[in-house]
């Protein structure tokens, strides 16, 4: 990738947005890491110089780096002005795009990056946008040598690389994985900024178009190795974790499936079936969630319902989403655990007529998911793009994190920064 000719190695676009300010802090923190031998030239980008300046001053104060503002470039550009996006892309090796919902604001950035041979990473959890960008830009990005990598935040680096980690740690062939996400909160509870809520509202409101896109893509099915992974009931009990669970409705399943297709078709790896769930605790939580879910699914079907959901996120999500986002106390007290239960076959023991004879349990643990783990994952993905070039797919293109990073040192980097991958147990049955 063309780092030499570019003024900045990294540019954080949308740095003054709610998530963008945390990503900006994380890039500044990465600059200070003891193993970094030289400074990375980087910049922040957005519409307002004053707001960008304020974000840098806040990061400087938080990190005890009074000179930070003078060390970071500022680029003024606007999503509605394609020439300004081109100008930003020309100055960057990698753009970290924090401006969502991506279904409305993502494509102009991808287009500018592809046309200027600039790599781009986002933290999108919207399958429709991610899959559409692949169909529209993969070939052009490959031609230009640009790597466009979506969902490089909490959606979906822990899940996507967690499945790859589980496969690498299994002494045999991994055929199926179920993951269970548990979010831990402190005494003040959980809260998420309503940007994530908006993406969910628009995504569920437009599911027919995602189905249409998938039907038109006409992909041949990926082979199923071993017994077909059965779907659990919408509310099921997970014995191992002593908790009820519901299907996880984020982008993880879509992303992992695309990665498994890529690894099968390009690297001839045995594809892994995958299902994702989130634990919800006891019966009271289940009842509360059922009501919230029914309300959501009813309102999301109608234009006026979607407007109400977006106007009053706090009310309809029982306080889980708000326009203010979480407080620093809520962020500090929160963390996540993603547990993977995998099954497969030991070496020399094939899937023909045999039941899987090996089980493995792995975990990815990390700090608060949205505004601590997401910036860490995004920034380390960008650093991996800059430093592990020989281990990336040969040409550029539009990739999932697992497809782009399966052979790089990204898992090691995440482990060093508090997103920890580990094996809990492994046994032959």
Task: Look at residue 126 and tell me if it is in a domain.
Answer: yes
Quick one: pLDDT at residue 56? 97
pLDDT in tens, 373-406: 999 999 999 999 999 999 999 999 999 999 999 9
Same domain, 104 and 213: no
Task: Say whether pLDDT at 112 is over 70.
Answer: yes
Q: How confident is the model at residue 295 (pLDDT cuts 50, 70, 90)?
A: confident
**Which three-class secondary structure state does DSSP give residue 165?**
helix
Task: Say whether pLDDT at 1 is over 70.
Answer: no
The token pair at 359 is 């089980």
Number of domains into which the chain is organized: 2
- Establish how many alpha carbons lie within 13 A of residue 212's alpha carbon, considering only the half-sphere containing its beta carbon: 4
Task: Look at residue 116 and tell me if it is in a domain.
Answer: yes
Return the CATH number at 365: 3.30.360
Task: Say whether pLDDT at 3 is over 70.
Answer: no
Same domain, 322 and 402: no
Task: Look at residue 275 and tell me if it is in a domain.
Answer: yes
What value does the mean pLDDT take over residues 50-55? 97
Residues of the chain above pLDDT 90, percent: 72
359 - beta bridge partners? 343, 427
Same domain, 186 and 322: yes
Q: How confident is the model at residue 124 (pLDDT cuts 50, 70, 90)?
A: very high
Quick one: pLDDT at residue 283? 83
Task: Say whether pLDDT at 9 is over 60.
Answer: yes
What value does the mean pLDDT take over residues 267-271? 96
279 - beta bridge partners? 245
Task: Look at residue 314 and tell me if it is in a domain.
Answer: yes
Q: How many Cβ atoms sit within 10 Å of the Cβ of residue 270? A: 17
Task: Look at residue 3 and tell me if it is in a domain.
Answer: no
Task: Tell me the CA end-to-end span of the chain in Å, nearest whole number.
Answer: 46
Task: Look at residue 106 and tell me if it is in a domain.
Answer: yes
- The span from the CA of 1 to the CA of 10, in Å, is 12
Who wins on pLDDT, 318 or 243? Answer: 243
pLDDT in tens, 298-357: 888 888 888 998 888 888 877 778 888 899 999 999 999 999 999 999 988 877 777 899
Same domain, 233 and 381: no
**Which three-class secondary structure state does DSSP give residue 409?**
coil
384 sits in the region (left: phi over 0; alpha: psi -120 to 50; else beta) called: alpha
- The span from the CA of 232 to the CA of 240, in Å, is 15
Same domain, 200 and 126: no
Who wins on pLDDT, 208 or 25? Answer: 25
Quick one: pLDDT at residue 200? 80
Q: How many Cβ atoms sit within 10 Å of the Cβ of residue 324? A: 10
Q: How many Cβ atoms sit within 10 Å of the Cβ of residue 399? A: 23
Same domain, 12 and 83: yes
Quick one: pLDDT at residue 127? 92
Task: Look at residue 1 and tell me if it is in a domain.
Answer: no
Domain of residue 333: give its range: 157-369+415-428
Quick one: pLDDT at residue 195? 73
Please provide the DSSP assignment of 311-360 as one string.
H-HHHHTTTSEESS---HHHHHH-EEEEEEEEEEEETT--SSSPPP-EEE
Q: Which of 106, 110, 147, 112 is nearest to 128 (CA)?
A: 106
Q: How confident is the model at residue 429 (pLDDT cuts 50, 70, 90)?
A: low
Work out the mean pLDDT of the chain and round it to a whole number: 92
**Which three-class secondary structure state does DSSP give residue 57?**
helix
Who wins on pLDDT, 214 or 179? Answer: 179
Q: Which of 75, 20, 85 is nearest to 43 (CA)?
A: 75
The token pair at 24 is 């900006």
Same domain, 147 and 180: no
pTM: 0.93
Please list, in sequence order, all residues whose beta carbon lies within 8 angstroms of the beta carbon of residue 141, skipping any fewer than 6 positions away.
Answer: 114, 147, 148, 396, 397, 398
Pairing of strands 73-76, 147-149: unpaired
Task: Look at residue 2 and tell me if it is in a domain.
Answer: no
Same domain, 169 and 68: no
What value does the mean pLDDT take over residues 159-181? 97
Same domain, 144 and 185: no
Return the CATH number at 40: 3.40.50.720
Task: Say whether pLDDT at 37 is over 70.
Answer: no
Pairing of strands 42-46, 73-76: parallel
Confirm if 363 and 335 have CB atoms less than 8 A apart. Answer: no
pLDDT in tens, 10-33: 999 999 999 999 999 999 999 887
Same domain, 243 and 314: yes
Tokens 């892309």 label which residue? 89
Same domain, 113 and 252: no
Same domain, 166 and 145: no
């Amino acid at each position: 990738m063309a780092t030499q000719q570019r003024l900045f190695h990294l540019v954080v676009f949308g740095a003054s947005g709610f998530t963008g300010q945390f990503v900006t802090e994380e890039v500044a923190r990465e600059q200070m890491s003891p193993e970094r031998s030289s400074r990375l030239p980087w910049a922040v980008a957005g519409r307002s110089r004053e707001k960008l300046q304020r974000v840098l001053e806040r990061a400087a104060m938080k990190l005890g780096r009074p000179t930070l503002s003078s060390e970071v470039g500022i680029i003024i550009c606007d999503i509605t002005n394609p020439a300004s996006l081109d100008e930003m892309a020309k100055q960057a090796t990698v753009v970290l795009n924090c401006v969502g919902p991506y279904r409305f604001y993502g494509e102009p950035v991808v287009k500018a990056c592809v046309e200027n041979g600039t790599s781009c990473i986002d933290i999108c959890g919207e399958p429709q946008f991610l899959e559409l960008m692949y169909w529209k830009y993969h070939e052009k990005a490959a031609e230009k040598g640009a790597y466009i990598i979506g969902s490089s935040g909490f959606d979906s680096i822990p899940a996507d690389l967690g499945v790859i980690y589980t496969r690498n740690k299994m002494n045999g062939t991994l055929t199926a994985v179920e993951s269970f996400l548990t979010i831990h909160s402190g005494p003040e509870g959980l809260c998420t900024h309503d940007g994530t809520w908006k993406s969910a509202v628009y995504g569920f409101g437009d599911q027919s178009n995602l189905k249409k896109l998938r039907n038109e893509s006409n992909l041949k099915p990926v082979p199923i190795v071993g017994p077909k992974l059965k779907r659990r009931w919408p509310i099921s009990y997970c014995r191992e974790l002593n908790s009820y669970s519901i299907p996880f409705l984020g982008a993880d399943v879509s992303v992992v499936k695309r990665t498994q297709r890529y690894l099968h078709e390009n690297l001839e790896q045995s594809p892994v079936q995958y299902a994702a769930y989130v634990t919800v605790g006891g019966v009271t939580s289940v009842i509360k969630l059922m009501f919230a879910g029914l309300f959501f699914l009813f309102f999301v079907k109608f234009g006026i319902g979607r407007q109400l959901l977006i106007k009053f996120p706090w009310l309809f999500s029982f306080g889980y989403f708000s326009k203010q986002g979480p407080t620093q106390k809520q962020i500090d007290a929160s963390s996540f655990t993603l547990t993977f239960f995998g099954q497969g076959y030991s070496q020399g023991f094939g899937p023909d007529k045999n039941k899987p004879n090996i089980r493995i349990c792995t975990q990815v643990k990390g700090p608060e998911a949205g505004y601590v783990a997401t910036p860490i994952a995004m920034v380390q993905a960008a650093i991996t793009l800059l430093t592990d070039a020989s281990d990336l797919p040969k040409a550029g293109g539009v990739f999932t994190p697992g497809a782009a990073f399966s052979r790089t040192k990204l898992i090691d980097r995440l482990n060093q920064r508090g997103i920890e991958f580990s094996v809990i147990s492994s046994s032959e049955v």
